[in-house]
């Protein structure tokens, strides 16, 4: 595949960092965005550069549409093109239904759904045939096996409609649009050694957490030549939680 440029939101740590490093290993120049972790984003850029590719870290709060559009434009200014957008940045609001505030609803919908829409719209202006838009959803968009996750599940399931609609809008231009639903994955958001982890592990068919690199491998497949005829699809990587 010819030289590619990827933009990964929330690439400072966890799943986003693993995706950035994998895409770089596969030959892409990679821009990562972050909200607060400037140092850690810079460390990811150094690891990208260690593969021989170019890297860049940009601050872009997912709640700030202007910053998101600017991140897309700065990617194209810096590296000349944009081929792969990965909507990964996310938060994990959790708790009793009666305690969820309207502010939390608005923030969560903005970070997961509105940001993905804004970024896809901006990225599509620059993408040519072979472009890829991949969003990171959640197995909780498909099945919700525990209480306390209504808002999170609602916000992630919005990505299903986004993905299917964009696949139709952008298919005629040769751009594919897909969704990856991780299950329990060992990151700071969901550590595999937390008190809750044992219950999550028990819900899987394989009896284990995913590693961020498992999610990155599926993103890499969708982003690469092997993904050329996959669009409007959701791939679940959850060690069988939703089996
Ligand atoms: P982490 O908490 O480890 O990392 C979250 C990333 O998102 C960080 O890079 C963070 O940046 C960024 N981020 C958070 N809030 C914002 C914001 N408002 N604006 C911009 N960036 C932001 O999470 P994971 O790596 O575990 O999660 C990555 C994605 O995978 C999320 O969308 C999550 O919902 C999803 N997912 C995770 C699962 C899991 O079990 N871990 C399961 C299913 C889905 P910074 O470092 O600057 O704060």
What pLDDT, in 10s, does the model give residues 210-225?
A: 999 999 999 999 999 9
CATH of residue 23: 3.40.50.720
- Is the pLDDT assigned to residue 41 strictly greater than 90? yes
Average pLDDT over residues 84-93: 98
Q: Does any domain span residue 221?
A: yes
Q: How far is the CA of 172 from the centre of ligand 1 (A)?
A: 31
Distance 189 CA to ligand 1 centre (A): 7
| Lowest-confidence pick of 1-5, 78-82, 217-221 | 1-5
Segments forming the whole domain that contains residue 129: 4-237
Q: What is the DSSP string of 198-232?
A: HHHHHHSSSSSPBPHHHHHHHHHHHHSGGGTT--S
Interacting residues of 222 by C-beta distance below 8 A, sequence separation 6+? 132, 134, 176, 178, 180, 230, 235
Distances (CA, A) of 170 to 13, 148, 178, 191, 231: 30, 35, 12, 36, 10
How many of the other CB atoms lie within 10 Å of CB of 104? 14
**Cβ(10) to ligand 1 under 6 A?**
yes
d(CA 31, CA 70): 13
What positions carry a catalytic annotation? 152
Question: What pLDDT score does 22 carry?
Answer: 98
Q: What gap in Å lies between CA 38 and CA 20, rounded to an integer?
A: 15
- Mutation probe of ligand 1 site: the residue of 9, 22, 90 with most atoms within 8 A of C-beta: 90
Closest residue CA from atom 44 of ligand 1: 138
pLDDT in tens, 117-172: 999 999 999 999 999 999 999 999 999 999 999 999 999 999 999 999 999 999 99
**Dist. CA 38 → ligand 1 center (Å):** 14
- Specify the residue for token string 């995913």: 210
Residue 243 lies in a domain: no
Residue 187 counted as domain residue = yes
Q: Quick one: angle between helices 14-25 and 38-50, nearest 10?
A: 20
- The pLDDT of residue 32 is above 90: yes
Average pLDDT over residues 43-53: 98
Q: Which residue has its alpha carbon closest to ligand 1 atom 10?
A: 10
pTM exceeding the 0.95 threshold for the entire prediction: yes
**Which atom of ligand 1 lies at the shortest distance from residue 34's CA?**
47
Whether 67 lines ligand 1, by a CB cut-off of 6 Å, is no
Residue 150 belongs to a domain: yes
What per-residue confidence (pLDDT) applies to 2? 59
Residue of 189, 200, 204, 212 best suited for mutating to test ligand 1, as the one with most atoms within 8 Å of CB: 189
Q: Who contacts 33 (Cβ-Cβ below 8 Å, separation ≥6)?
A: 7, 8, 9, 10, 11, 41, 57, 58, 59, 60, 71, 89
Q: Is the pLDDT of residue 1 over 60?
A: no
Specify whether the CB–CB gap between 21 and 46 falls below 8 A.
Answer: no
Digit-coded pLDDT (tens) for 166-207: 999 999 999 999 999 999 999 999 999 999 999 999 999 999
Give percent of the chain with pLDDT exceeding 90. 99
CA distance 146 to 140: 9
In a domain, 42, yes or no: yes
Confidence of residue 100 (pLDDT cuts 50, 70, 90): very high
Structural domains counted in the chain: 1
In a domain, 107, yes or no: yes
What's the 167 CA to ligand 1 centre distance in angstroms? 24
User: Which residue in 186, 170, 182, 64 sits closest to 124, CA to CA?
Assistant: 170
| 37 touches ligand 1 (CB under 6 Å) | yes
pLDDT of 98 > 70? The answer is yes
How far apart are the CA of 111 and the centre of ligand 1, in A?
Answer: 10
Instruction: Assess if residue 143 is contained within a domain.
Output: yes
Confidence grade of residue 3 (pLDDT, cut at 50, 70, 90): confident
| Residue at 30 is within a domain | yes
State residue 36's pLDDT score: 98
| DSSP code at position 52 | T
Question: Most distant CA pair in the chain: distance in Å?
Answer: 52
The answer, yes or no, to whether any atom of ligand 1 lies below 6 A from the CB of 135, is no
């Amino acid at each position: 595949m010819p030289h590619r440029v990827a933009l990964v939101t929330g690439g400072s740590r966890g799943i986003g960092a693993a995706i950035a490093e994998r895409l770089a290993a596969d030959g892409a120049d990679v821009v990562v965005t972050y909200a607060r972790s400037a140092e850690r984003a810079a460390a990811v850029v150094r690891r990208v550069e260690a593969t021989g590719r170019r890297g860049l870290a940009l601050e872009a709060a997912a709640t700030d549409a202007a910053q998101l559009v600017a991140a897309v434009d700065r990617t194209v200014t810096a590296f000349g093109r944009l081929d792969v957008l990965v909507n990964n940045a996310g938060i994990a609001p959790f708790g009793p239904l009666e305690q969820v505030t309207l502010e939390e609803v608005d923030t969560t919908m903005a970070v997961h759904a509105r940001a993905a829409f804004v970024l896809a719209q901006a990225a599509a202006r620059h993408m040519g045939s072979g472009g890829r838009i991949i969003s990171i959803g959640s197995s909780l968009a498909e099945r919700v096996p525990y209480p306390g996750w209504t808002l999170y599940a609602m916000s992630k399931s919005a990505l299903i409609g986004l993905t299917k609609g964009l696949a139709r809008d952008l298919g005629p231009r040769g751009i594919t649009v897909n969704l990856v639903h991780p299950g329990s994955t060992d990151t700071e958001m969901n550590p595999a050694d937390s008190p809750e982890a044992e219950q999550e592990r028990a819900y899987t068919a394989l009896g284990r957490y995913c590693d961020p690199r498992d999610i990155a491998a599926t993103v890499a497949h969708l982003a690469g030549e092997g993904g050329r005829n996959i669009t409007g699809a959701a791939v679940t990587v959850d060690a069988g939680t939703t089996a």
